[in-house]
């Protein structure tokens, strides 16, 4: 089992920045990659970003490219999501997730999930 705990969500003005953190514990050696998803009220959960732990390869959804950066600190077993130039449409609960396989992007490929952290961007 892998446990994930997110933090860093808060209220921020449009154009501002936030950094989300997600600490992984347990059988972290079994995780091949980490991802961030988000879910806005009344909408389905959507993929945001992913990173492969060993290679550092990253992948983003188009709406956040150039604004968000995902990174992983192996020593701390922590994945980060640096969010810049935030927009009101970025408002959502952000979830950290871990996958054991090579494939990424779809939520079904992630076996472990955190409880979520709220990000609210005011206009």
CA atoms within 13 A on the CB side of 88: 2
Identify which of 93, 118, 117 has the alpha carbon closest to the alpha carbon of residue 4: 117
Instruction: Give helix then strand counts, H and E, for the chain.
Output: 0, 11
pLDDT in tens, the chain (123 residues): 999 999 999 999 999 999 999 999 998 888 899 999 999 999 999 999 999 998 999 999 999 999 999 999 999 999 999 999 999 999 999 999 999 988 988 999 999 999 999 999 999
Rounded Cα gap, residues 99 and 81, in angstroms:
17
User: What's residue 31's pLDDT?
Assistant: 87
- Stated as kind and residue range, the H or E segment containing 48 is strand 46-52
Chain-centroid distance, C-alpha 22: 8
């Amino acid at each position: 089992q892998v446990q994930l705990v997110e933090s860093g969500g808060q209220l921020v003005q449009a154009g501002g920045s936030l950094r989300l953190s997600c600490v992984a514990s347990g059988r972290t050696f079994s995780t091949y990659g980490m991802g961030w998803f988000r879910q806005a009220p009344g909408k389905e959960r959507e993929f945001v970003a992913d990173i492969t732990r060993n290679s550092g390869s990253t992948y983003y959804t188009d709406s956040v490219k150039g604004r968000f950066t995902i990174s992983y600190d192996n020593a701390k077993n922590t994945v980060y999501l640096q969010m810049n130039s935030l927009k009101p449409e970025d408002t959502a609960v952000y979830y950290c997730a871990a996958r054991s396989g090579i494939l990424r992007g779809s939520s079904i490929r992630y076996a472990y999930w955190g409880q979520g952290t709220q990000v609210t961007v005011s206009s």
